[in-house]
């Protein structure tokens, strides 16, 4: 097998954008390894519109958004291998992969970009009691069955979790002739976009039951019904509030988990909150020359941000290969800390001299805040105090700092991102 300087693991939105950017930054030896039979990743099954407003200033469907990047990858002559599973990434950046035609092969890369995306939280992880019949699908699996394979996973449907995929599938199943009885959401607010609640649920009179969860699943063979109960402020079901919904299908849209088995085995340090690698300002993980972007790093709400992040990760990977990066020095490292409602930040650390002009810090909050402030402290000094009408867990937030702000602060050790009431 030919060796490449940069191996991109995953050919979804993150991998495609990273590959293009690495090539544009001057690295000609890039390969994308994709486990599915086509490039584009999960976007191929996201046939609804609403992608690309930031990037292309128009509303695209998932496959259209993917195609714009796929076309550019093909034009740029970037190598890729589909139906190819990466089996192992060694700390020395030897990537072992496998497919039908090449068998098992290794690539000795100089840099690796992790772009494996995420997976859905399964029923088992939610500890929903009851039977374990057929007809319990994660929303994304149902989406694949309907949109790609062309099969109906159910007729009478209840959805647990109001993540965007669940909302989108409520409308999609309705379009295909199924009846969606309700969407139950454990939290007192939805994790999905407002627009999806209106256009996927309200448009079709599908009730959204906030502070509700599934407490029992009936049916030995196929789902026969589920029981939904209201929950108290500790998310515990309230006895006496149970309602049975006869149905044949339960779809779950209860969260996404970055898929980091390869990263972990490679020895990449993980962030306890995001489930993705901890990265520095260059999207570089704790392993030098291993970069991460997209949903494998932290779960995004908009694909536009995935692409944007991947562009930077790809450029940094190229710079690393071309030897244009000063090795990281521990003593220069600034820690980025999330506190007071902010759950995490990406990046986790910053080395000032490696920064471009700007530092974008992305984060999410743990609850809904109204009329609150996003504040950033450099050491003890508050440099950002931005009033927001609403900040919600479902939406990724960002603050942008100028490099001068950081360099002006001599001996800066810590940047803090926090939510303040005043």
Partner 1 sequence: MEKRELTCIGCPMGCTVTVEMNGGQIVNVTGNTCKIGDTYARKEVTNPTRIVTSTVIVEGAPMTRLPVKTAADVPKSDIFRVMDVINHTRAKAPVRIGDVIIENVADTGVDVIATRNIA
Partner 2 sequence: MYDIVVIGAGVSGCAIARELSRYDASVLVVDREEDVCCGTSKANSAIVHAGFDAAEGSLMAQMNVRGNRMMDDLARDLDIPFKRNGAFVVCIDETQRDGLNALLARGEKNGVEGLRIVEKEELHRMEPNLSDDAVCALYAPSSGIICPFRLTIAMAECAAQNGVEFRFNTRVDALLRNAEGNWHLTTSTGPIVTRYVINAAGVYSADFHNRVSTKQLHIVPRRGDYCLLDREAGTHVSHTIFPQPTAMGKGILVTPTIHGNLMVGPTAIDIDNLEATATTAEGIDTLIAGASAYVKDLPIRKVITSFAGLRAHEDGHEFVLGEPEDAPHFIDCAGIESPGLTSAPAIGEYIGNLMKEKMSLREKSGWNGIRKDVLKPVGIDIEKRNALIKENPAYGTIICRCETISEGEIIDAIRRPLGARSLDGIKRRTRAGMGRCQAGFCSPRVMEILHRELDLPMDEITKSGRQSVMVFGQTKAGGGVIR
Applying CB under 8 A, the residues found at the interface with partner 1 are 44, 47-49, 59-61, 63-64, 67, 146-150, 172, 175-176, 193-195, 197-199, 202-203, 389-392, 394-395
Write 380-386 long-range contacts (CB < 8 A, 24+): 381/409, 385/420
Residues 69-88, mask of contacts with partner 2 (x by CB under 8 A): --------------x-x-x-
How many of the chain's residues bind partner 2 (CB under 8 A)?
51
CB of 43 to partner 2, least distance (A): 16
Cβ proximity to partner 2, 31 vs 146, nearer residue: 146
User: What value, to the nearest 5°, has the Cα angle with vertex 414 and ends 408 and 415?
Assistant: 75
CB of 207 to partner 2, least distance (A): 23
Burial code (b: 16+ CB inside 10 Å, e: under 16) for 73-97 equals beeeebebbeebebeebbeebbbeb
Quote the DSSP letter at residue 95.
Answer: E
193 makes contact, choosing from partner 2, partner 1, none, with CB < 5 to 8 Å by partner type, with partner 1
Burial code (b: 16+ CB inside 10 Å, e: under 16) for 311-339 equals bbbbbbbbbbbeeebeebeeeeebebebe
Touching partner 2, residues 140-169 (CB under 8 A)? 140-141, 144-146, 148-155
CB of 277 to partner 2, least distance (A): 16
CB of 151 to partner 2, least distance (A): 4
- H-run or E-run covering 137: strand 136-138
CB of 177 to partner 1, least distance (A): 8
Residues 6+ apart with CB under 8 A from 9: 15, 33, 86, 89, 95, 112, 113, 114, 115, 116, 262
And the tokens for 212?
């509700």
Name which position in 63, 133, 225, 393 contacts partner 2 (CB under 8 A).
133
CB of 29 to partner 1, least distance (A): 27
Which residues in this chain contact partner 2 in the complex, by CB under 8 A?
35, 83, 85, 87, 98-104, 119-120, 122-125, 127, 129-135, 138, 140-141, 144-146, 148-155, 176, 215-218, 220-222, 237, 248, 261, 264
């Amino acid at each position: 097998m030919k060796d490449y300087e940069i191996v991109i693991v995953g050919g979804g939105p993150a991998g495609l954008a990273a590959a293009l950017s690495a090539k544009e930054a001057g690295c000609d030896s890039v390969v994308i390894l994709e486990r599915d039979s086509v490039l584009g990743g999960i976007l191929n099954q996201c046939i609804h519109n609403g992608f690309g407003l930031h990037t292309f200033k128009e509303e695209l469907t998932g496959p259209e958004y993917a195609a714009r990047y796929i076309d550019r990858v093909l034009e740029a002559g970037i190598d890729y291998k589909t139906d190819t599973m990466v089996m192992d990434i060694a700390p020395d950046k030897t990537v072992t992969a496998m497919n039908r035609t090449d068998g098992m092969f290794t690539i000795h890369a100089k840099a690796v970009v992790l772009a494996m995306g995420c997976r859905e939280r399964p029923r088992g992880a939610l500890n929903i009691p009851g039977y374990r019949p057929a007809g319990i699908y994660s929303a994304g699996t149902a989406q694949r069955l309907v949109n790609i394979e062309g099969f109906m996973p159910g007729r009478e449907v209840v959805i647990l979790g109001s993540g965007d995929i669940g909302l989108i599938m409520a409308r999609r199943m309705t379009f295909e002739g199924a009846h969606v009885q309700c969407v139950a959401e454990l939290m007192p607010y939805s994790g999905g976009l407002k627009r999806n609640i209106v256009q996927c649920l309200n448009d079709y009179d599908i009730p959204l039951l906030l502070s509700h969860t599934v407490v029992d699943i009936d049916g030995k063979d196929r789902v026969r019904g589920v029981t939904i109960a209201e929950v108290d402020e500790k998310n515990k079901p309230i006895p006496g509030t149970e309602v049975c919904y006869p149905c044949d299908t339960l779809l779950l849209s209860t969260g996404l988990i970055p898929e980091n088995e390869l990263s972990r085995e490679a020895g990449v340090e993980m962030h306890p909150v995001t489930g993705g690698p901890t990265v520095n300002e260059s999207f570089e993980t704790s392993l030098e020359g291993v970069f991460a972007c997209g949903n494998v790093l932290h779960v995004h709400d908009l694909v536009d941000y995935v692409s944007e992040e991947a562009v930077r990760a790809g450029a940094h990977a190229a710079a690393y290969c071309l030897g244009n990066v000063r090795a990281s020095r521990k003593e220069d490292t600034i820690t980025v800390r999330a506190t007071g409602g902010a759950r995490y930040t990406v990046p986790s650390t910053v080395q000032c001299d490696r920064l471009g002009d700007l530092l974008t810090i992305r984060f999410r909050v743990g609850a809904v805040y109204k009329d609150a402030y996003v504040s950033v402290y450099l050491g003890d000094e508050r440099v950002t105090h931005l009033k927001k009408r609403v900040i919600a867990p479902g939406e990724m937030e960002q603050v942008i700092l100028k490099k001068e702000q950081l360099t002006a602060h001599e001996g800066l050790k810590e940047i803090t991102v926090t939510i303040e009431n005043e």
